[in-house]
């Protein structure tokens, strides 16, 4: 099985469901005017909308596909956009899918991840907690007043990813429809995180003893991880 194949299938099934029920709205942002970059501090009193506050549900997921199927330039909103939210704080799910070729998995992952982490937009603050797979954002009243939309965020993430070598396309899904809808992403997010953690462990600890590794179950399922392990072990042996 390819690295994030299971999570990709899960997300695509969710997308089909949301679109089928009419709760998923698609936006093509390929020709969208970019929202300006800017400082990322938004205090509570300046906030028009908070997404994924630590006391609310929040799930963030970053995966890639080498086998095609990425709907390049597409942002899908499941739930209200910034101007449509009925309350000042909403649960938040964010799925970022990059498409292309990722030959050096660890370096590729770090590049893709950093492109997401380093996306900074004026009037928008974003904070990420990788171990909780959560993301916490605030949209300032000023930005909301100037028409900031989650589609602008999606477009910025897609642009940032496509500036990387090897990335040929990207799509983003945002879920604000409610706790239950956001939590539908939990399985895919946890699975992706386990794969990333296993990969990080291989590279950082250089320990390839499967018998003592807590990620053995992950590698047993995701064959690409075994290939990475084999490549690293051979590299260590020849070094």
Partner 1 sequence: MILSVCGKGGVGKTTVSAVAAQALSREDGRRALVVDADPAGGLAVALGLEPRKTLNDVRKEIIEEVKAGGRDEKDLAVSLDYLLAEALTEQGNLALLSIGRPEDAGCYCKVNVILKDAIEGLAGRFDATIIDAEAGIEQVNRKVLSSVDYVLLVSDTSAKAVKVARTIKGVADQMIGGQGTGLLVNRARDADEAGAVERGTDLDVLGWVPEDDTVRRFDGEELSFLELPDCPARAAIVTALEKTGLI
- Sheet with 58-65, strands from edge to edge, namely 24-28, 74-78, 167-175, 92-100, 58-65
Pick between residue 84 and residue 214 the one whose CB is nearest to partner 1: 214
Nearer to partner 1, 84 or 114 (CB): 114
Catalog residues that contact partner 1 under the rule CB under 8 A. 39-41, 43-45, 54, 110, 113-114, 117, 127-131, 134, 136, 196-197, 200-201, 204-205
Write down the least CB distance from residue 206 to partner 1, Å. Answer: 12
Of 45 and 211, nearer to partner 1 (C-beta) is 45
Residue with tokens 């300006």: 36
By DSSP bridging, strand 74-78 and strand 167-175 are parallel
Cβ-based nearer residue to partner 1, 83 or 200? 200
Query: End-to-end distance of the chain based on CA atoms, in angstroms?
Result: 29
**Phi-psi bin for 111: left (phi > 0), alpha (psi -120 to 50), beta?**
alpha
- The whole-angstrom separation of Cα 214 and Cα 219 is 10
Closest distance to partner 1 from the beta carbon of 213 (Å): 11
Residue 115: name the closest of 57, 62, 39 by CA. Answer: 62
To partner 1, the closest distance from the beta carbon of 43 in angstroms equals 6
Least Cβ distance, residue 216 to partner 1 (angstroms): 15
Q: Taking a C-beta distance cutoff of 8 angstroms, is the pair 173, 93 a contact?
A: yes
Residue number with CB closer to partner 1 (115 or 151): 115
Shortest Cβ 147–partner 1 spacing (Å): 22
């Amino acid at each position: 099985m390819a690295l994030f194949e299971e999570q990709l299938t899960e997300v695509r099934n969710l997308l089909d469901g949301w679109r089928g029920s009419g709760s998923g709205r698609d936006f093509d942002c390929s020709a969208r005017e970019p929202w300006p970059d800017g400082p990322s501090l938004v205090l509570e009193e300046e906030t028009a909308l908070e997404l994924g506050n630590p006391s609310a549900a929040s799930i963030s997921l970053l995966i890639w596909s080498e086998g095609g199927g990425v709907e390049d330039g597409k942002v899908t909103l499941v739930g209200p956009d910034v101007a449509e939210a009925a309350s000042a704080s909403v649960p938040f799910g964010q799925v970022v899918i990059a498409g292309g070729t990722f030959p050096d998995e660890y370096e590729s992952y770090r590049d893709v991840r950093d492109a997401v982490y380093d996306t900074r937009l004026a009037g928008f603050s974003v904070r990420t907690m990788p171990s909780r797979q959560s993301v916490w954002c605030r949209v300032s009243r000023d930005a909301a007043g100037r028409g900031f939309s989650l589609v602008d965020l999606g477009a910025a993430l897609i642009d940032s990813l496509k500036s990387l070598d090897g990335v040929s396309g990207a799509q983003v899904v945002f879920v604000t429809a409610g706790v239950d809808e956001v939590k539908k992403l939990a399985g895919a997010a946890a699975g992706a995180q386990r794969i990333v953690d296993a990969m990080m462990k291989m590279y950082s600890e250089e320990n390839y003893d499967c018998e003592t590794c807590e990620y053995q179950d992950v590698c047993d399922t995701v064959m690409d991880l075994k290939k990475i392990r084999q490549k690293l072990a051979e590299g260590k042996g020849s070094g």
